[in-house]
Amino acid sequence: MFRRSLRTLGLSAAMALASGCTHAPVTTTSKFLSEPLVTHLYTADPAAHAFAGRLYVYPSHDIDAGVTDRTDGNHYAMRDYHILSMGAVGGPVKDHGVALKIEDVPWAGRQLWAPDAAHANGRYYLFFPARDKADVFRIGVATSDSPAGPFTPEASPLEGAFSIDPAVYGDDDGAFYLYFGGLAGGQLQRWPGNTYTPAAPVPQGEEPEAAPRVARLRPDLLGLAEPAREIQLLDPAGKILVGGDEARRFFESCWMHKHAGTYYFTYSTGTTHLICYATGHSPYGPFTYRGVLLKPVQGWTTHQSVVRFKGKWYLFYHDSQLSGKSNLRNVKVTELHHLPDGTIEAIDPFLTP
């Protein structure tokens, strides 16, 4: 199934960034640490989970829509989801086909961006962002009897959830939490105080960052059990990270995992191309910045998930190795190591010469 690549890649020298972004994509002539999981379609934003003895990956599906506008993310024109699975990391990867498409979602207008999944109540849940008919990003949920889908969406988006990049975390006590948010094209800045304010700007300078959100889900996972809360991300001195701190402040790509009793909130800084992590003692936070989890990959974005499978921890992420284009990406995986002091060993996505 995966013998034929989308194209043979010759790494591009330097890609000019169109209007709307202030930092250029990362390019390289180095060798990659990991290879794409699949090469027959473009995949990004991998959410990995161990279900029923297999590792399932819920990525977004990049397509080349011929759109060049980068100011609001229109060049990320994803329209459906394919679910991947494998019995072992490094083993054969199965594409289970289309699990959900934009035409299936009654309330959605366009752009099925980064999803996530959960298993509870004997069913599987797919959480996904999409722009509604008014072009505002909402978060929806769909259900299935199989981790591979197909998924049937609810008729309406989740009330009280908004923006992009939903991530679902199931805690040891059986409670599930939904994390979400993404700046700029992801519209998080438009929701100060959880009220939609279209003209609200992205925080700059010493202004407190636009915080990601978290809310406990109802037992049926089809709605929020409480109003969404802002997540406090703190520097080591205990101060809230500010908008101008682009190497540490939140931009997008929420993920939560727990190791040795500590909650690890990981996220992307966006413009500085880093995946960072912060730790806390509650799924609500606050979380204190600890360092870089993944150094910059080739391309503009990356988006991570962290999963334990068969006794090892793995980091899933994406880059643009197959295409050399920032909006046509491919999913990868590498092993992740927690250190005895509670930190995580930083991962370089390129091999040291």
* pLDDT for the residue 15: 33
pLDDT at 153 over 80: yes
* pLDDT for the residue 50: 98
* pLDDT for the residue 65: 80
* pLDDT for the residue 67: 73
d(CA 194, CA 188): 9
How far apart, in Å, are the Cα atoms of 178 and each of 40, 67, 240, 319?
31, 31, 22, 25
- Report all structural domains of the chain as residue ranges with CATH numbers, in order of start: 42-195+207-231+296-336 (2.115.10.20)
* pLDDT for the residue 70: 62
For the stretch 319-348, pLDDT in tens is 999 999 999 999 999 999 999 999 999 999
* pLDDT for the residue 66: 79
Active-site positions? 45, 252
| Residues paired with residue 265 on neighbouring β-strands, in sequence order | 256, 278
pLDDT at 114 over 50: yes
For the stretch 66-95, pLDDT in tens is 776 665 677 888 999 999 999 999 999 999
> In this structure, what token pair is assigned to residue 221?
């996972």
User: What is the SS3 assignment for the chain?
Assistant: CCCCCCCCCCCCCCCCCCCCCCCCCECCCCCECCCCCCCCCEEEEEEEEEECCEEEEEEEEECCCCCCCCCCCCCCCCCEEEEEEECCCCCCEEEEEEEEEHHHCCCEEECCCCCEEEEECCEEEEEEEEEECCCCEEEEEEEECCCCCCCEECCCCCCCCECCCCEEEECCCCCEEEEECCCHHHCHHHCHHHCCCCCCCCCCCCCECCCCEEEEECCCCCCECCCCEECCEECCCCCECECCCCCCCCCEEEEEEEECCEEEEEEECCCCCCEEEEEECCCCCCEEEEEEEECCCCECCCCCEEEEECCEEEEEEEECCCCCCCCCCEEEEEEECECCCCCECCECCECCC
| pLDDT (mean) for 208-227 | 98
* pLDDT for the residue 20: 36
Comparing 71 with 39, the larger pLDDT belongs to: 39
* pLDDT for the residue 29: 75
* pLDDT for the residue 288: 98
For the stretch 167-191, pLDDT in tens is 999 999 999 999 999 999 999 999 9
Q: Check: CB of residue 240 under 8 Å from CB of residue 208.
A: yes
* pLDDT for the residue 23: 67
For the chain, what percent of residues have pLDDT higher than 90?
87
pLDDT at 194 over 90: yes
* pLDDT for the residue 229: 98
* pLDDT for the residue 71: 59
| pLDDT (mean) for 88-110 | 97
Residue 10: band (very low, low, confident or very high) from pLDDT cuts 50, 70, 90: very low
For the stretch 290-329, pLDDT in tens is 999 999 999 999 999 999 999 999 999 999 999 999 999 9
Q: Check: CB of residue 17 under 8 Å from CB of residue 276.
A: no
Average pLDDT of the chain is 92
| pLDDT (mean) for 91-102 | 98
